[in-house]
Structure 1
Amino acid sequence: MIKKLKAGYIYMKDWPLEDYLNPVFAENRVKKSMNFANKAIPPLLFLTIIWSLFIGGYFKGVPFIYALSLNLEATLACLFVLCIIPIQGLYWFYRRSVTPLNEKQQVFYRTLCKKLDHTFTLMPTMRDLEVEINYGLKKLPKDFLKEL
């Protein structure tokens, strides 16, 4: 599972945020959502713990352990849900990276490989397409993405 999450992270990190790719692929939207979640989740975790202590009466003089134990199940459930969101996103990126290309994407992949003088695989995946798009963005003008 750790290898899958790491592969998903690499795919997310390498995916280009190009405007031409927005209507065709969901990766841009999910990558932006993951970046937002990485910034928003740590404060939400902190606020969840503080809120649990507040509801338990810690700020009114109730001992810490007792205040925390009053809402422990709900607090742990909230913390679990908040912590699982980035893991779910990384797993989504992994699943997406091993997804085979459809026919139209395969045609684009093969023409891009021919333009870049690369050999193409017979059963390309989204990861293969991402690698070629990144290489094409370095070597070709961005207009080649309009063919998608």
Structure 2
Amino acid sequence: MNNTGNVNWFGVLKRGQHYMNTWPDDKRLSPVFPEHRVGKAIRFGIRFMPPVSVFTLCWQIALHAQTGPAVASALFACSLPIQGLWWMGKRAMKPLPPTLLQWYHSVRTKLEQAGQPTAIPEGEPTYQSLADLLKRAFRQLDKTFLDDL
């Protein structure tokens, strides 16, 4: 899962979608991780950008604007959620930096002490590994595990 070299474009988007859905929806993580805000922006964009782009395209055509820039702006508006999913997919595959790696192992230890064994990820833990661990910790631990963050 940590093989970043052989992932195609759609694979990155799929990983981004999975990472966005796995990341815990808790605002207390927002000061350290942008995933909560980026995920909200992506969900907003997926829901509202297609109608907004169709509206602006129709509006510009109705006002007899040039078609090229109208189509380009509509395509750009529709691409914003895709750009967010791309960022999330690349982030999911990225190895954790040393400070987060230490915190990752701390949370993992707390889960094991609570009687919840966790699988050791193959290779270096990634942001996806962290998301999986945090999702599980939010379900099975009290919220004090965030105090070390």
TM-score by length of 2: 0.83
1:119 Cα offset (Å): 4.0
Amino acid in structure 2 at the alignment position of 1:15: W
Contact conserved, 1:4 with 1:94, CA < 8 A, in 2? yes
Aligned residues: 135
1:109 Cα offset (Å): 0.9
Matches within 5 A, 1:31-110: 31-56=39-64, 71-110=66-105
Higher helix proportion: 1
Alignment correspondent of 2:137: 136
1:31 Cα offset (Å): 0.9
Q: Which of 15, 19, 28 is residue 20 of structure 1 equivalent to?
A: 28
Identity %: 31
Moved over 4 A (4+): none
Contact conserved, 1:96 with 1:126, CA < 8 A, in 2? yes
Counterpart secondary structure, 1:25? coil
The CA RMSD over aligned residues, in Å, is: 1.5
Contact conserved, 2:43 with 2:81, CA < 8 A, in 1? no
Q: What 5-or-longer segments of structure 1 have no aligned partner? A: 57-69
Counterpart secondary structure, 1:114? helix
Alignment correspondent of 2:146: 145
Contact conserved, 1:16 with 1:134, CA < 8 A, in 2? yes
